A and B are shown apart, each in its own frame.
Chain A
Amino acid sequence: MPSDLPKPPDVVCNGLRKVFGHGAQQVEALASTDVTFASGTTTALVGPSGCGKSTLLRMVAGLETPTEGSVLIAGESPRMTSKKGTLSVAFQDPSLLPWRTVRSNVALARKLAGQPADKTAVDDLIARVGLAGFEDKRPAALSGGMRQRAAIARCLATRPNLLLLDEPFGAVDELTRRRLNLELPRLWEKPGATTLLVTHSVSEAVLLSDRILVLSARPATIVADIDVALERPRTARMIDSAAFRQVEHEVSEILFDNKGAGRRFAAE
């Protein structure tokens, strides 16, 4: 990747809060939160199901409007960043358009971002996610893991410098997930995008991120902020290392003793 790319953005959340519904059916998904994601780092958000981590990510992506507070991406609103095409989102569901081929799905992202079509770059990217030879296949002809690879390729096709990954490996089986965990991050680590990753898997969080935020149950609050000081690139062998196990253990402790964590948090 050329080094003259602009520096990946800082993401600053100021008093960010989200409430869904009206009147008696109000649900507070995210309590007022201040957090900064530093340029070029990967941050994992972990927490119990439905705790509001996806809501946080969706507000950064501009897919939800905050009830209070704001998100600034390199000083600009998410909507502005979306329009520039420098932000990319990947979801748990690959959400490929079933009537388009892999190539056409990946190229779609460039089209939507207003970037010129670049067949060589698209095919190169498809090859790098391991789908060479499947460019002209439609999603129905691919396995779940392959679809997820295609979705990641689409996500990277615009060369975004802010990546928002909402459980991108959540729907594939454990073996495939581990493979994707080890293979795919190389594609975005090198150009150095700022990355937010929502995940249910503690080991995935440790493997992929520089920093892990543990969120409490609804309304989500950040109960722990853990640095992952493992060297990059991360490898399969690292998973068995003591340092890796140590971080994993630390996160699990907080996650599975959430009530205690909540109390501890309140007391502080």
Chain B
Amino acid sequence: MTLSLRAPLMTVAPRATMAVLSLIGVLVGWEILARALASTYLLAGPVDVTRYLIDNSGLMLRALSVTLYEAMWGFVWGNLAGIALAAVVVLVPRFENLVQSLALVVFCLPLVATGPILRVLYGPGLGPQVTLAALAVYYTTFVPTVVGLRATPSTWLDLVASFGHGRWKELTVVRATAALPYLVVGLQIAAPAAFLGAMVGEFTGAERGMGVLAIQAMRSLDVQATWALATVASLVSILAYLVVGGIGKYLWPDRPSIIMASPAQNDGAGRGAKWLKTCGLGFMTLGAVLVLWWGLFELFDVNSFFAKRPMDVWSYLVTSPKALEHRLVLWEAMGETMAFAVPGYLAGLLLGAVLAGVFVLMPNLAGLVLPVSIALRSIPIVTTAPLIVLCLGRGAAGTITIVAVMIFFPTLIACLQGLRQAPGQILDVFNSFATSPLRTLFLARMPAMLPAFFASARMAVPAAILAVTVAEWLSTGTGIGNLMALTTSTSDYNMLYSSIAAVTGLSALAYAAVGALERVVLTIYAPEQVR
């Protein structure tokens, strides 16, 4: 019998009851806290929020419908793009590494800067928000879909081949079916992410929508409105997550355990050759990005005043007389950003992992807190950034908290799933020596959790960058996010593009670095996951 986390809970109380209890607990605690802190004008309780929503129902509904509309189209386009890319990877394995790296680089684009640029390109309208929603979505669909398309049992493929069919048939008939459960997981993550993309799009200069109202409320220190908007954004995200997840669970009850697998290294080359290959891929990716960047701008013949080409950035940062000065500004801003992003990132990861361990040791506590955590996990914290800024101020604490919280919940859930990965028979071995739960946690469960932890740490890199840049864009007045906001409003497009290039490059490199670390961990802790 496997010792699952859920089993003991089921006997204590049905899950639904626990979920309702914890929801009531949160609401009551929130209201009490709000009343206790009434004099600080930071917190609006559920009663105030509800009153505000009723009083302003017309406005809220109009804003919500705009944002939902953008999120929906972003969801559709982003997922279609993710699926199409995954199909390309499987159909043309030769381009696999390049497509994967390109997809990653595009995912690492800082949304707060892409937003305003898209606004210039698209003109007024919903285009930028829909595009940002799609950008926020496609990568988390692409990765599990590739894993799913690969997860096809090889005997199925042999069966198709034995009837004389080729790769196309293989993809459409066999692999597609096997990938569906994985796709569903991707779609579930995508649903709240699309909402996040739409909100960030609205933060950066839209005319209508929830994001616009949120910024207005934050700037005018309207506590009730800020809390009401954050509540609605959270509820919509949770609902989207649950609905897509529910449909998926109904259609495919078995959730695959490995979803965000690290990019495969499918060759048996030696260590030296591998390094060479990795470097080669890096240069190839860089080259492809530059060609695409230049090529697309030329193709659509966009005005070179606001659409800077790679050459412009190069001369701005390297060859122009003031290049050193430019580099210093950029360097300083990046430094400020990292000072927030790195502690927040590490704190979020650490807290998630530690709390997961605590939950395994105290299943009753987990039963109460877990439903709330799962709900909060689905909230893209960035949509509630105005609220955190309101509560924690514009200093370091607020920004670091936004980054940490953004990473904390996904890590917690991933680690809990990872802790359950310890095979039942290994736990039986420990049990047959009457080993204490704490010792079992450290000797068996924690090491078995590492693969899930590192997958989460890798996916958290772009999330951390997104969170920190949004926070800086909105409020702090420091860092690269602020630099992007500033250069957008002063039309200093050379600096804006330089910032984008720097953030994207750094984000992609950090992602690759965590991925490399992850592969080392996997070869030791989960050799079956490394092909």
Contact = CB atoms under 8 A, between A and B. Distances in A.
B526 interface: yes
B434 A140 contact: no
Given A112-B433, A140-B528, A97 B447 contact: yes
Given A64-B1, A99-B447, A140-B527, A87 B432 contact: yes
B425 A91 contact: yes
Contact of A63 (B426, B431, B444): B431
B525 interface: yes
B423 A112 contact: no
B434 A82 contact: yes
A99 B525 contact: yes
A121 to B, nearest CB: 17
In this complex, the member of B430, B431, B434, B524 whose beta carbon has the largest number of chain A beta carbons within 10 angstroms is: B434
Contacts of B433: 82-83, 85, 109, 112-113
A20 to B, nearest CB: 9
A150 interface: no
B432 A88 contact: yes
Contacts of B434: 62, 79, 82-83
Nearest to A114: B433
Interface residues of B, number: 21
Nearest to B435: A112
A112 B430 contact: yes
A25 B1 CA distance: 16
A108 B447 CA distance: 14
Interface in A37-86: 61-64, 79, 82-83, 85
B276 interface: no
B443 interface: yes
A138 B527 contact: yes
A63 B527 CA distance: 28
B525 A61 contact: no
Contacts of B439: 112
B336 interface: no
Contacts of A98: 524-528
B429 A89 contact: yes
Interface string B424-461: 01101111111100010001100100000000000000
A95 interface: yes
A190 to B, nearest CB: 23
A62 B425 contact: no
Contacts of A88: 432
A97 B297 CA distance: 54
A93 interface: yes
Majority SS at the chain B contact face: helix
A239 to B, nearest CB: 30
Contacts of A83: 433-434
Interface string B458-498: 00000000000000000000000000000000000000000
A88 B429 CA distance: 8
In this complex, the member of B423, B432, B434, B444 whose beta carbon has the largest number of chain A beta carbons within 10 angstroms is: B432
B426 A97 contact: yes
A223 B72 CA distance: 65
Contacts of A138: 524, 527
B4 to A, nearest CB: 15
Contacts of A85: 433
A63 B3 CA distance: 11
B432 A95 contact: no
Given A85-B433, A99-B524, A112-B433, A91 B428 contact: yes
A88 to B, nearest CB: 7
A63 B526 contact: no
A80 to B, nearest CB: 9
Nearest to B526: A98
Given A95-B423, A98-B526, A63 B428 contact: yes
Interface in A138-181: 138, 140, 154, 164
B416 to A, nearest CB: 20
Nearest to B422: A97
A235 to B, nearest CB: 31
A89 B423 contact: no
Contact of A95 (B428, B526, B527): B428
Interface in B370-404: none
Contacts of A95: 423, 425-426, 428-429
Contacts of B426: 95, 97
A22 B525 CA distance: 37
A87 B435 CA distance: 13
A204 to B, nearest CB: 20
A91 B74 CA distance: 51
Contacts of B435: 112
A171 to B, nearest CB: 11
Nearest to A95: B425
A61 B432 contact: yes
Contacts of A113: 433
Interface string A98-138: 11000000001100110000000000000000000000001
A253 B14 CA distance: 48
A96 B431 CA distance: 14
Nearest to B430: A112
Given A91-B428, A112-B430, 10 more contacts: A63-B431, A82-B431, A82-B433, A85-B433, A89-B428, A89-B432, A97-B447, A98-B524, A112-B435, A113-B433
Task: Sort A-B residue pairs by CB-CB distance and give the 10 closest, nearest first.
Answer: A140-B527, A95-B425, A82-B434, A112-B433, A89-B432, A83-B434, A95-B426, A99-B525, A91-B425, A93-B425
Interface of B: 1, 423, 425-426, 428-435, 439, 443-444, 447, 524-528
Interface of A: 61-64, 79, 82-83, 85, 87-89, 91-93, 95, 97-99, 108-109, 112-113, 138, 140, 154, 164
24 contacts: A62-B432, A62-B434, A63-B428, A63-B431, A64-B1, A82-B431, A82-B433, A83-B434, A85-B433, A88-B432, A89-B429, A91-B425, A93-B425, A95-B423, A95-B425, A97-B426, A98-B525, A98-B526, A99-B447, A99-B525, A108-B443, A112-B435, A112-B439, A113-B433
